[in-house]
Structure 1
Amino acid sequence: MNWISEVVRPRIKTLFKRESPDNLWIKCPDTGQVVFHKDVEANLWVIPGSNHHLRLTATQRLKQIFDEGTWLDVPLPDAPVDPLKFRDEKRYIDRLKDARTKTGQQDAFKIGFGRVDELPMTVAVQDFAFMGGSLGMAAGEAFIKGAETALDKRTPYLLFAASGGARMQEGILSLMQMPRTTVMVRRLREARLPYIVVLTNPTTGGVTASYAMLGDVHLAEPGALIGFAGPRVIEQTIREKLPDGFQRAEYLRDHGMVDMVVHRHDLKETVARLARLLTKAEPGPVRSERPSHEGEPLEAA
């Protein structure tokens, strides 16, 4: 046997092969900078070099805003599923199933109740990962449930808005959520409870045309796209070039549409300070309730 020509290759092919996870690195959408995943996570999902604020899931938002990352889940009411039997390239009910599998949520809203810097607060979060955070009947019912919880507990109501607008698959039933949510904002105002809105990237369409722009105070994350129609649609309509940074958080702040642009690191402290100012409250425990393990149902606590 000629050992040079008849050599037997080892059968263990992966002996010296190193496996690396797919999400080891994150590429900045603004600069193309590649950053280590763990560094971005430790920085609250903000790219360290460019300061680009990445989108967060509803659960990540609640973990960041509540003390010790714990809260009580507010059970959300059921809403009709696919009332119009809508179908385009795909059945609407199938799109809902895919979104629920992807996000682990029933719809685009998640509501939590707990403490923010020791101040009792009800927090509603829209998840853009669920069909673009679109406003449908389920999302409208969730917003209303959150407002009712704030009224019942006598707490400020904090909303993190992130949406592409109304959900077209529900037609007029989706658009009807705009006046319904507006009525709930009016009830909060009559009860003299603060309604604070944090506009995140993006907040557009029917959400901007209703409850997202009705807050007592409007905060925005840096670089967030905020508006009704998108910049490309506006340019095609008026046939003019828009100014640099048009519809971004900083532009809207400079033109009086947003009160403050707040970095994610400072958001919790800013929200708590505003809530205390508006309620004339001092730091303290959450009445008789207690923050429980992450996501424990409010009724079970």
Structure 2
Amino acid sequence: MASFNLTPYEPSSFTLTGIPGLEDVHVWISIPFATFYIIGLFGNFSILLIVGKEQTLHKPMYLLLCMLALKDIGMSTSVMPRTLLIFWFNLKVITLDACLTQMLFFEVISIVHSGILATMAIDRYVAICIPLRYATILTNARILKLGLVVVIRAFLFFLPLPLLLRSQPFCANRLIQHTFCDHMAVANMSCGNITINKVYGLVLAFVVIGSDLTPITVSYGLIIKALFRITSKKAHQKALNTCSAHIFVILMSYPPGLFCALAYRFGKGIAPHVHIILANLYFVTAPMFNPIVYGVKTKELRNKVGKLICRI
């Protein structure tokens, strides 16, 4: 049996196992995931609707919120429908091409997410530290161009990984211990040499996080320095409120994302079901909380939401 499992095989499909050891409670586990997913979709579509409808919100800050909302919708939708199909209907088979497409989609969106957070940090720096030049430095057109650069960068960075996997020979054992096609989960099914995949994936994670955390760290370092010079208590509080939502989103994004990236390589002692549950939570909790946090912390957006509810 061991030799059979190590025989190179060109698969047309894989089987996603779901959460190993918890198959009997898949339906119960699906309830919070489905709830988080629906709340996230509602919240993010609401932001897109409100910003798109209100001309007064057609500003760089709200364009960035729309980019974040689109990212959140894509991020959760790339993973959760497939996961729920496994939980509810035991539909576990996925073709190789569909698997690689799903992988490309959610990994690219994850890199885009990091780029958007870096851009938002720069936006907050300009708004707080050099507010008189904000309108000339960060125009709507410039924000859209930065968004396009972030998307192109994400595709160029991640595209080599699924292409490398596409050329790999796979073993007869095609059971992926996961609810979706995570890069390393699929790579571990290969009978070939996946050293390049492992090294490139790890380097990519640190390059993306490092290149985006640098402007975030510098921006908030300068913002903190500027806050100490603000004498007005009202202005000081306004600046803190402006930054607190973004800081919360950063804390909700980087630590869980880094954990998911490192767990397959160095987390051999982590129980598979713990890793899989946390990985799925990563894809639904941030999309659920982001619109709530920004809706509460952003006064102008909060007022528009209140007016829309009153009309309904």
The verdict on a shared fold, with TM-score over 0.5 as the criterion, is: no
TM-score range with shorter-chain normalisation? 0.3 to 0.5
Higher Rg of the two aligned structures? 1
Q: Which has the higher contact order (CA 8 A, sep 6+)?
A: 2
TM-score after normalising by structure 1: 0.33
More strand, by proportion: 1
More helix, by proportion: 2
